[in-house]
Structure 1
């Protein structure tokens, strides 16, 4: 079988996923901009929406970004090194999706890092910074999260990211950023299942109260358990990841 035929078959079998991209600014490093935009687009995409492999087209990406293939290729090499892409000779470039076991382990790691971030936030964050967490859920005071699940999903993800940022620990931020892409995708997918959204907002408000009271031990414990509950849910219900 020729390599052209193999690639054609792989292209037909691969899932189609349109990444949210736009032309980049040629006055800055093309590789770095392409890397940042591709990484963000992968983070924003629903990479677990299908069991099929998600193949990227280098030519389409370069045309969409408005640059030659060289910076796109260099950016994808960096993303491959970070574990976001997988390059298969004579077949193409694929977005890496984790197995259920890998996702569970990522969430467990997230639980450890975010809970430490919450602990640090009780001493490092200002009252005004913590107050902003409560305002993230103002839009859901008069309705249930399930009635606005897409908006609540975004607020949910922003909430967890904000806790990490409130730690003001650059090392935690740097360590957690690659895990975030996959944990974010799973949070987005599972938030609408089994009334998880309603239970989630209750957990969030308890976490905010602990932070407001500067209760270090309670804030750390609540944040850790919140993520471990997600890990247990994925372990029990998310067989589509295998």
Structure 2
């Protein structure tokens, strides 16, 4: 099975340079970098062929992605999607927990009923039929909390951190034993935000996210291999 990066030809509806960057970034974040079957090497020539473009804009996009710590460009060796160690992932999750808990605190008292209902709909999506659908909804839930903070600076910092832990989060959500607890946590978080309890909302989000850090340290013994 080919587990390398998955790309489709570009449609000329955006600025080409920006669109190439977005397509590559999304494809990288959707890769399960912790699967032994995943090819982490990115072939610049092959990417250009898949997208139907020249190599120059691909190279520019790769430099931008390296600046975001999503890939590594090794001189005379190649380009690789970044696979973080247990300690690196765990530290990023701890930072994310602090950022998202602040976002939840700020969201209290300023969210509309429509926004709460949207958050609830995303957060309690059933995973019984499709684990990938739930995994995507789980990621959307946490990004939505950032958005509801109405704090652009916090959102920007949070998105940068979240992008770096997204591969680990996607990998963790493949474990069905985590799903039921996650949905229950989401319901409590939504309730705290809706009832304008900033301290409770912040604590619930922090505890929920730090469970991922504990899970990683306890179960991902072979992550560094």
Shared fold per TM-score greater than 0.5: yes
Q: Which residue is equivalent to 1:237?
A: 219
Deviation digits for residues 171-206 of structure 1 (CA, Å, limit 9, x no counterpart): 112112232223222222222436110111111101
| Worse-matched range after superposition: 175-184 or 35-44 | 175-184
Q: Which residue is equivalent to 2:92?
A: 106
The structure carrying a bigger helix percent of its residues is: 1
Matches within 5 A, 1:12-161: 16-25=3-12, 28-50=14-36, 54-136=40-122, 139-140=125-126, 145-161=127-143
* Pair 1:86–1:99, CA change in 2 (3 A): same
Q: CA RMSD in A?
A: 2.0
Could you tell me whether the CA contact under 8 Å between 1:21 and 1:41 is conserved in 2?
Answer: no
The structure whose Rg is larger is 1
Q: Which residue is equivalent to 2:201?
A: 219
Name the CA distance, whole Å, in 2 between partners of 1:153 and 1:45. 13
Q: In structure 1, list runs of 5 or more residues that go unmatched.
A: 1-14
| Equivalent residue for 1:205, pick from 171, 187, 194 | 187
Name the CA distance, whole Å, in 1 between partners of 2:94 and 2:84. 14
Report how many residues are paired. Answer: 223
* Pair 1:41–1:194, CA change in 2 (3 A): closer
Name the CA distance, whole Å, in 2 between partners of 1:101 and 1:154. 25
Name the CA distance, whole Å, in 2 between partners of 1:188 and 1:16. 15
TM-score, normalising length: structure 1: 0.85
Could you tell me whether the CA contact under 8 Å between 1:48 and 1:97 is conserved in 2?
Answer: yes
Deviation digits for residues 107-146 of structure 1 (CA, Å, limit 9, x no counterpart): 1011001000101111332121011111225653xxxx35
1:94 alignment partner, SS class:
strand
Q: Which residue is equivalent to 2:171?
A: 189
2:175 alignment partner, SS class:
coil
Name the CA distance, whole Å, in 1 between partners of 2:101 and 2:9. 36
Q: In structure 2, list runs of 5 or more residues that go unmatched.
A: none
